[in-house]
Amino acid sequence: MNNQIENNFMYHAPKAYQQEKYEAIRAKAKELAYLIDEECPPSREKSLAMTKLEESVMWANAAVARN
């Protein structure tokens, strides 16, 4: 059995102390999202920046949940 695979593909119920971390990550990402929205013209690049920011939040949350 590979422990890393098992950990990566299981449900991680949120623990009380993690909620604050998730909220902090989302709050900072939202700040950056608003900056990108205000400063970047509508474009494919802007859309990609927003998508990658959402992806970054997802992976940061996964780091909190998995470790």
Q: What is the mean pLDDT of each run of 10 residues along the chain (67 residues)?
A: 94 92 97 98 98 98 95
Q: What are the phi and psi torsion angles at 13 (to 5°)? A: -65, 135
Nearest by Cα to 17 from 66, 64, 63: 64
pLDDT at residue 59 in the model: 98
9 secondary structure, DSSP code: T
pLDDT at residue 51 in the model: 98
pLDDT at residue 24 in the model: 97
Quote the pTM value.
0.86
Distance CA 65, CA 17 (A): 11
